[in-house]
Amino acid sequence: MTDSMESENEKMDTSVKPTSLGSVASNAPKRAPGTLAMGRGLEARGIHAWFGKNHVLSDVTLDFAAGTVTALIGPSGCGKSTFIRTMNRMHEFIPGAAMAGEVLLDGKDVYAPGTDVTKIRLQIGMVFQKPNPFPSMTIGQNVLSGLKLAQLKVDNKDDLMEECLERAGLWSEVKDRLNAHGGSLSGGQQQRLCIARALAVRPQVLLMDEPCSALDPGSTLRIEETIRHLSDSMTIIIVTHNMQQAARVSDYTAFFLSDNGPGQMIECAPTSEIFSRPRDKRTENYVTGRFG
Amino acid sequence: MSTALAPAPTKPWKASPKDHLIDFGVFLLAAIVDFLVVSVTPMKGKLAYFFVFFATYLAFTTIRQFILRGSASAKDAFVSSLVAFGAFVTLLPIVSILVTVINKGSKGIHLGLFTHDMSMATPTDPLSNGGLLHAITGTLTLVALALVMSVPIGILTALYLTEIQGRFTRPIRFLVQAMSGVPSIVAGLFILSAVLYPITKSYSGFMGSLALTILMIPTIARTSEEVLRLIPQDLREAGTALGGTQWRTVAMIVLPAARSGLITAMILGVARVAGETAPILLLTGGGDKVNPNAFNGPIGSLPYYIWKSFNAGSPESITRAWAGLLVLLVLVLVFFTLARFLGSRKVAK
Amino acid sequence: MPQTYIQPSAPAPSSGVAIPREITTEPRFSDRVFRGVVTTGGLSSLAILGLITIFLGYRGFEVLRQEGFNFITSSTWAITTDDAGNVVESHFGIAAMLVGTILCSIVAVLIAVPISVFTALFLNFYAPAWLKKILVSVIDMMAAFPSILFGIWGFLVLMPSVEYWAKLLNHYLGFIPIFHVPAYYFTRSPFIAGVVLAIMIIPIITSVSREVFSQTPLDRIQAAYALGATRWGMIQAVVIPYGRGGVVGGAMLGLGRAMGETVAVYTVLNIVYQVNWQMLFGAGGNIASLIILKFGDASPYEIKALMAAGLILFALTLLVNAGADLMVKRFGGNKR
């Protein structure tokens, strides 16, 4: 099954989309938007972030074209996680947090006054580093929890549950025990349950903050497969410490670095370019393992 | 590496002046409706204004959010107002108690209060007669005695729980918790049955102190345990590694490091029992004269004085009771604030 | 050195099979004394609780044996003595007091729990940091108020208002049995005592709830928010399931406090020797208040009856507190 999906992706890669990544767009491997509504993608414009007086992220501008997977790599503390948390406005939960810049979802600023932040988070889903299913809910309830939280109505909950678990690659493993508690699953299964949970509200964008760092290699592989399948239908941004993982799953890779100052985005290019001929010396040093 | 010109940090998620203006508008509207409703219906009083205002505000914000953002936001707005209301209701009695005690108590406060006792006066006498001296000294005596008895036991219990950690650790923690729930009257009855009737056969301050000791031990033990737990384990290991015995490590390293926290525990214990009334009524006999000997004869105390004055029932005596309450409250709050102040730096750096 | 350790370089036995060496710790004399003293001190709570049971039981035994089960099922409290002070006839039953104690405490808990939970939620998830700091201090301060203060304030300030609410409740909801009154008399009712007790236990329940809520794992809170939850949605999905057990424990702790409270209840409650479940009616009972009420001029034999009543109260509060402790430990910790 995985193989057939991959070959499909290869075919789609031939078409080129104009709305991405400025100068490097011409030689980028492009993916056509999938069949589901993906919108026009996500654009970050001049993002800065602060914690109190501490300037942690400086002037990041990045486009995430619809239907692409972008990996954010870089050493610890370079602002990758902070950056993706500004995308769905999770940044503001940290006391003392501040930001500047714009995040455009379908051309609309998610920080515009009067924006309903809960609607933003429905459109931009998130998967965290540590699997965090709700332990008081069953597997099935976990998948549908987003709908309940946002008071959304769907016609056929069972179909949706199956579809989401299927897309997260978990259906065959849990279909007989949907009423078991979420905590009874293994770590990798829990993480896929969290992905299924994020999918149930049908986000356009999925943010993944080191989703595999707490998992064993087998589970990591399953999640990477899931990511590749999902990229047909949504925009994915994944933070990872693992350069091989970035190389395996992403279309684009952005390298972040903090040089005793705020974190900055050094370079963003198609993944193959970042790993074969990076333009910046620091990127090269990092991807070749000279530091980080 | 740094960007030449970083824009100013902003917090777009914070409410803008416009949002504040709208919130204030809703607030004002609710106040107006509140005023109208209370004036046309038979409801009356401050509390009526308060509850009607709350209900109107709740309704307005909920409806507004429902129109703007739908049912989930409406529920959120509803609950936001509700929990704020809950916090407000919690504060109401505190404010009311403080205002009442200060208001009514200050009428009975005069300098003679601290230099005279009630041996030459009755509670129904004019307020200028007599004073609180016997009650204040009595309370201090009772509490000091109780402190002397409960501190060693309380701290030893805490040391057992943190330093020895033998097989009784869990049961003892459980028992200390259970002991903190012993009703004060039961502590009083116990001393009555175990000490006063069979042994001393007379009321005295010491009897009261014994009961207070029982009530104080759990407070001191639990607070001390928390403090001792904050002492880093490597400090203890450093002590043992230097060749110290456990006894020396505890005495020379652990306890001194926890000093201010242990003092906090004692003060909290004092604050806990200073106003305790029921066992005092059973055990101390409550004299009207300053009695410096806690082991012989009835002894007065603030709670006893308040109780006696309150039950005498005349306007003068009730003012006396309020004055006594004010003095008692100030005493308790001084201890409490002191404990808080010291508690903010629990472990000496 | 008090301890000896295995030397890492110790040669293995020639057979090639490692035989575990025993590590012996021979404490010094001073340490043995230290441990002995501390253990004795630590066991004092056990000793005190045991002694309370023994002495109250010993003193109350005679009455308990004479009255038997009637002691907790009958409501008569009467003693007749002849001129010499010998007991001619006596009937001691605390049914009305027991019922009254439970009724007042339950009213108190029912009122205090929602207010405390709202307050705790407000402090943890709604209040700005500066306000939270102030409120926590103020509420902790309230927990340090002496109970006689609540009693006198409750009697002189609160009672008129509560009586007014009680009349309203009776007027509009009188058809419900618990809001019914047999006669139009609302002063010093169990309801009023319950309100005073509620005010007294709000700080305790609030602080336990606040503690439990604040331990809610941050990753679950974030997960809920990331799914587009509103603040209330997050609380419902994450905080309440996590903190429920701890809140129940806190409520039981408050229940235990309310049952044992003496002076405040005595001041605002009308003690009547008749079982009364109608909380708005001005007739109630309370074991602790009974003791204060009767102690002053009780004969030695009646004192024994009061000791027996104290023993029952002690057992009741111990039971409730133990339950509370288990609940808080079980659900207040890191699990779930």
C322 C-beta neighbours (distance < 10 Å), count = 17
Chain segment A210-225, per-residue pLDDT in tens: 999 888 888 898 889 9
3-state secondary structure of A235: strand
pTM, two decimal places: 0.86
- Cα first-last separation, chain B: 39
Q: Provide the pLDDT confidence category of residue A5 given band limits of 50, 70 and 90.
A: very low
- Looking at residue C19, its pLDDT comes to 78
Of C247 and C326, the structure prediction assigns the larger pLDDT to C247
Contact B153 C41 (CB under 8 A): yes
Q: Which subunits sit against B, judged by 3+ Cβ pairs under 8 A?
A: A, C
Using CA atoms, how far apart are residues A50 and A95, in angstroms rounded to an integer?
Answer: 10
Q: If residue A254 lies in a helix (H) or strand (E), which one and from where to where?
A: strand A252-258
B27, B18 contact by CB (below 8 A): no
Average pLDDT over chain B, rounded to an integer: 88
**Residue B137: alpha-carbon gap to chain centroid:** 21
Q: Provide the pLDDT confidence category of residue C263 given band limits of 50, 70 and 90.
A: very high
Instruction: List the single residue in C with minimal CA-CA distance to B241.
Output: C1
Q: Domain limits at C230?
A: 95-332
Chain B residues within an 8 Å CB radius of A118: 69, 72-73
Q: A171 to chain B, minimum CA–CA distance in Å?
A: 30
Q: For the residues C314-336, what does the mean pLDDT come to? A: 77
Contact A99 B3 (CB under 8 A): no
Q: C112 to chain B, minimum CA–CA distance in Å?
A: 9
Cβ burial B33-54 (10 Å sphere, 16+ → b, else e): bbeebbeeeeeeeeeebbebbb
Residue A138's φ and ψ, nearest 5 degrees, are: -75, 175
Q: Give the residue among A57, A109, A62 at the shortest CA–CA distance from A82.
A: A57
* Domains in chain C, number: 1
Domain ranges of chain A: 2-287
- Cα first-last separation, chain C: 44
Using CA atoms, how far apart are residues C237 and A137, in angstroms rounded to an integer?
Answer: 9
Is the pLDDT confidence value at A167 over 80? yes
Q: A129 to chain C, minimum CA–CA distance in Å?
A: 9
Please list the alpha-helical segments (H only) found in chain C.
29-42, 44-67, 70-73, 95-121, 129-143, 147-153, 159-173, 190-214, 218-226, 231-234, 240-260, 263-268, 287-295, 300-332
Using a CB–CB cutoff of 8 Å, tell me whether B153 touches chain C: yes
Instruction: List the single residue in C with minimal CA-CA distance to A197.
Output: C227
Supply C308's token pair: 């027996």
Q: If residue A264 lies in a helix (H) or strand (E), which one and from where to where?
A: strand A263-270
Count of CB contacts below 8 A, B vs C? 273
Q: For residue C181, is it within any domain?
A: yes
- Looking at residue C15, its pLDDT comes to 57
Using a CB–CB cutoff of 8 Å, tell me whether A143 touches chain C: no
Is the pLDDT confidence value at A17 over 70? no
Using CA atoms, how far apart are residues A40 and B102, in angstroms rounded to an integer?
Answer: 66
Strands C87-92 and A54-64: unpaired
For every residue of A176-232, which 3-state class applies, written as one string?
CCCCCEHHHCCHHHHHHHHHHHHHCCCCCEEEEECCCCCCCHHHHHHHHHHHHHHCC
Between A43-47, A162-166, B243-247, C192-196, the lowest mean confidence (pLDDT) is in B243-247
Contact C228 A150 (CB under 8 A): yes
Using CA atoms, how far apart are residues C25 and C19, in angstroms rounded to an integer?
Answer: 19
Q: For residue C145, is it within any domain?
A: yes
Using CA atoms, how far apart are residues A114 and B18, in angstroms rounded to an integer?
Answer: 10
Chain B residues within an 8 Å CB radius of A111: 12-13
Chain C residues within an 8 Å CB radius of B101: 149, 153
Task: List C-alpha distances in Å: B349 to B230, B259, B265, C89.
Answer: 11, 11, 18, 68
Of B123 and B88, the structure prediction assigns the larger pLDDT to B88
- Looking at residue B345, its pLDDT comes to 59
Q: Give the residue among A185, A203, A212, A199 at the shortest CA–CA distance from A41.
A: A203
Chain segment C114-145, per-residue pLDDT in tens: 999 999 999 999 999 899 999 999 998 898 89
Is the pLDDT confidence value at B349 over 80? no
Between B309-323, B330-344, C40-54, the lowest mean confidence (pLDDT) is in B330-344
Using a CB–CB cutoff of 8 Å, tell me whether C118 touches chain B: yes
The DSSP-derived string for C258-289 is: HHH--HHHHHH--B-SS----TTSS-B--HHH
Domains of chain B (ranges, CATH numbers) = 19-107 (no CATH), 133-343 (1.10.3720.10)
* Domain at C141, CATH number: 1.10.3720.10
CATH match for A2-287 among 3.20.20.100, 3.20.20.105, 3.40.50.300, 2.30.30.40: 3.40.50.300
Chain segment C219-239, per-residue pLDDT in tens: 899 999 999 899 999 999 999
- Give the angle B299-C295-B296 at the CA atoms, nearest 5°: 25
Instruction: List the single residue in A with minimal CA-CA distance to B19.
Output: A114
C29-42 vs C44-67: helix crossing angle, rounded to 10:
30
Task: State the complex-level ipTM.
Answer: 0.89
The DSSP-derived string for A51-113 is: ETTEEEEEEEEEEE-TT-EEEEE-STTSSHHHHHHHHTT-GGGSTTEEEEEEEEETTEETTST
Q: What is the CA radius of gyration of chain B?
A: 28
Task: List C-alpha distances in Å: C319 to A147, C46, C102.
Answer: 43, 15, 13
Contact A100 B70 (CB under 8 A): no
Q: C123 to chain B, minimum CA–CA distance in Å?
A: 8
Using CA atoms, how far apart are residues A82 and A98, in angstroms rounded to an integer?
Answer: 11
Chain segment C151-187, per-residue pLDDT in tens: 999 999 999 889 988 988 888 888 888 888 888 888 8
Q: Provide the pLDDT confidence category of residue B72 given band limits of 50, 70 and 90.
A: confident
Burial of C106 (0-12, 13-18, 19+ CB in 10 A): middle
Using a CB–CB cutoff of 8 Å, tell me whether A171 touches chain B: no
